[in-house]
Copies of this chain bind each other. A is one copy, B any other.
Amino acid sequence: MQEAGKIIKIDRVIHEPVRLAIMSCLYEKKYVDFVFILEKLDLTRGNLASHIKRLEYAGYVDVIKTFKERIPHTTYALTTKGKKAYEKYWCFFDEIRQDIDLEG
């Protein structure tokens, strides 16, 4: 079974469902824009922006501002740190479950 520390130290930045979804999108697609996530997750713009800001502060995502047909277009991508953190997050869950499976 999991030790105390293992499960308690889960990365809270990623653990929040909305941010986990964002990280999943980015991990899969590499580059994802604001509106895509907005519609995919059905959030308000403000809510999405603040979650992304949090991921930015954690150093997990880069913001790429471009113009698409002369309209502002913001795109996001995982940093190396973000990629590692995301993979580590899943490792925790694997460990927890494996530990459970070991016994009856």
Q: Which residues of A contact B (CB under 8 A)?
A: 1-4, 7-8, 10, 15, 17-18, 20-21, 24-25, 27-29, 40-42, 90, 93, 96-97, 99-100, 103
Q: Tell me which of B1, B4, B17 contacts A10 (CB under 8 A).
A: B17
Q: Is the CB of A40 within 8 A of B4?
A: yes
For the residues of A in contact with B, the DSSP-based class is helix
Taken together as a complex, chains A and B put the C-alpha atoms of A90 and B93 apart, in Å, by 9
Q: Is the CB of B8 within 8 A of A41?
A: yes
Give min CB distance, A102 to chain B, whole Å. 9
Q: Is the CB of B17 within 8 A of A1?
A: no
Contacts A10-B17, A17-B10 given; indicate if A96 touches B40 (C-beta within 8 A).
no
